[in-house]
């Protein structure tokens, strides 16, 4: 059910729904009730779903496979990730830059395919040193990698990150440290915070989709379960924000949020949005 009294007309006119994934349409490998119905009605009504995620650990090919395993058909072009947003901005700042990466092998491969050079050790020689230290969600993180990154940051190397999420949800009631938690560790050791963070709440991913498809803000809605990333990114981009209560955020959190950070719409789950769109088609 809808948990606020916002008029539904603007939501019904949305053409592109930018969907967070974990906590919004599924949890781990379990689809939420109503997800497939929602995606099906979008197709029937000539609307589009784009999956946006702060998780930088997987290539879009892996996401396509994951969604296929749980019953969702998708293509590479249906995704926009924080890694893509990072590359988009790196190409604006310094194409072909050298990078010391705290990230997974798929992220490393994506950066190489995008034309960037990866540095794998600490070097004193200026010509061997990276232009950037880049932090992503890194399930291969080691103390040695942290040490080298901190040395470069102490030396003043530019510091970018894919996203600020503190935890990554796993099975119900459990989570693991995400890039935001690693940021705090690194800040404690070096005093440095990232100079740029590509993922939500930065509106970069949303703007990339709008630019690609020529969309107006009123034609776009972001649907997610986190106020400080999903909803704030929508607010920052000037598009419609929709919070579902199947993930991190509770009604208490929404009540406590400042007025400028409250979502436009609040629903128990994605199924409620499907039912609203289904009524429109009758």
What does the pLDDT look like over 39-58, one tens digit per residue? 999 999 999 999 999 988 88
Reported as a pLDDT band with limits 50, 70 and 90, residue 5 is confident
The answer, yes or no, to whether residue 80 has pLDDT greater than 70, is yes
pLDDT of amino acid 280: 67
Residue 150 has pLDDT above 70, yes or no: yes
CA–CA separation, 19 and 234 (whole Å): 11
Check residue 172 and give its pLDDT. Answer: 67
User: CA 282 to CA 280: how far, in whole Å?
Assistant: 6
What pLDDT score was predicted for residue 175?
79
What is the distance between the terminal CA atoms of the chain, rounded to a whole angstrom?
19
pLDDT value, residue 55: 85
- Is the peptide bond between 261 and the residue preceding it cis, with omega within 30 degrees of 0? no
Cα distance between residue 216 and residue 4, in whole Å: 25
User: What is the rounded average pLDDT of the residues 60-71?
Assistant: 92
Q: Which two tokens stand for residue 176?
A: 């693991």
Q: In what order do the strands lie in the sheet with 117-119?
A: 117-119, 98-102, 132-135, 158-161, 196-197
More confident residue, 184 or 55: 184
Summarize pLDDT for 161-182 with one digit per residue, the tens. Answer: 999 988 876 766 777 899 999 9
Q: Report the pLDDT value the prediction gives residue 168, as an integer from 0 to 100.
A: 78
Tokens of 194: 């990232």
pLDDT mean over 89-103: 97
Q: What percent of the chain has pLDDT over 70?
A: 98
Judge whether 231 and 243 are in contact, CB under 8 Å. Answer: yes
* DSSP per-residue string spanning 17-70: EEE--BTTTEETTEEPTTHHHHHHHHHHTT-EEEEEE---SS-HHHHHHHHHHT
Backbone angles phi, psi at 26, to 5 degrees: -160, 170
Q: Which pTM value belongs to this model?
A: 0.87
Residue with tokens 């990150």: 161
Which region holds residue 71: left if phi is over 0, alpha if psi is between -120 and 50, else beta?
A: left
Residue 58: per-residue pLDDT: 82
Residue 200 binned pLDDT confidence (cut-offs 50, 70, 90) = very high
Q: 178: helix, coil or strand? A: coil
Say what the pLDDT of residue 59 is. 84
Cα–Cα distance list, 17 to 100, 159, 282 (Å): 35, 32, 20
**Confidence at 145, pLDDT banded by 50, 70, 90:** very high
Per residue in 228-248, pLDDT (tens digit) is 999 999 999 999 999 999 998
What would the pLDDT profile of 209-223 be if each residue is shown by its tens digit? 999 999 999 999 999
Domains of the chain are 9-54+200-280 (3.40.50.1000), 94-197 (3.40.50.1000)
CB count within 10 Å of CB 121 equals: 8
- Residue 282 has a pLDDT of 52
Helical ranges in 102-177 per DSSP H: 105-113, 143-154
Give residue 281's pLDDT: 52
Do 13 and 47 meet the contact criterion of CB atoms below 8 Å apart?
no
Q: How far apart are CA 166 and CA 17, in angstroms?
A: 25
The chain-wide mean pLDDT, for the chain, equals: 94
Nearest to 107 by CA among 79, 124, 86: 86
Q: How many helices (H) and strands (E) does the chain have?
A: 11, 15
Give the DSSP H/E element, type plus range, for residue 252: helix 251-256
């Amino acid at each position: 059910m809808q948990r606020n009294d916002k008029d539904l007309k603007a939501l019904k006119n949305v053409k592109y729904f930018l969907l967070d994934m974990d906590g919004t349409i599924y949890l781990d490998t379990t689809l939420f009730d109503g997800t497939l119905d929602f995606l099906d009605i979008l197709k029937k009504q000539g609307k589009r779903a784009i999956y946006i995620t702060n998780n930088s650990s997987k290539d879009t090919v892996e996401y396509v496979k994951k969604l296929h395993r749980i019953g969702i058909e998708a293509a590479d072009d249906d995704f926009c990730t924080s890694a893509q947003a990072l590359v988009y901005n790196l190409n604006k700042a310094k194409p072909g830059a050298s990078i010391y990466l705290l990230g997974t092998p798929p992220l490393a491969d994506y950066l190489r395919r995008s034309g960037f050079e990866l540095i794998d050790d600490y070097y004193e020689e200026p010509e061997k040193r990276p232009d950037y230290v880049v932090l992503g969600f890194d399930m291969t993180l080691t103390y040695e990698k942290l040490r080298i990154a901190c040395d470069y940051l102490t030396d003043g190397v530019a510091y970018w990150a894919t996203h600020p999420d503190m935890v990554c949800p796993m099975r119900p009631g459990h989570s693991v440290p995400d890039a935001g938690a690693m940021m705090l560790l690194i800040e404690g050791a070096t005093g440095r915070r990232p100079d740029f963070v590509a993922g939500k709440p930065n509106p970069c991913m949303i703007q990339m989709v709008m630019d690609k498809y020529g969309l107006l803000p009123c034609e776009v809605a972001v649907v997610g379960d986190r106020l400080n990333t999903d909803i704030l990114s929508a607010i920052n981009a000037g598009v419609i924000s929709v919070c579902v209560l199947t993930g991190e955020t509770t009604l208490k959190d929404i009540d406590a949020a400042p007025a400028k950070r409250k979502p436009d719409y609040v629903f128990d789950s994605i199924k409620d949005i499907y039912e609203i769109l289904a009524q429109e088609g009758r």
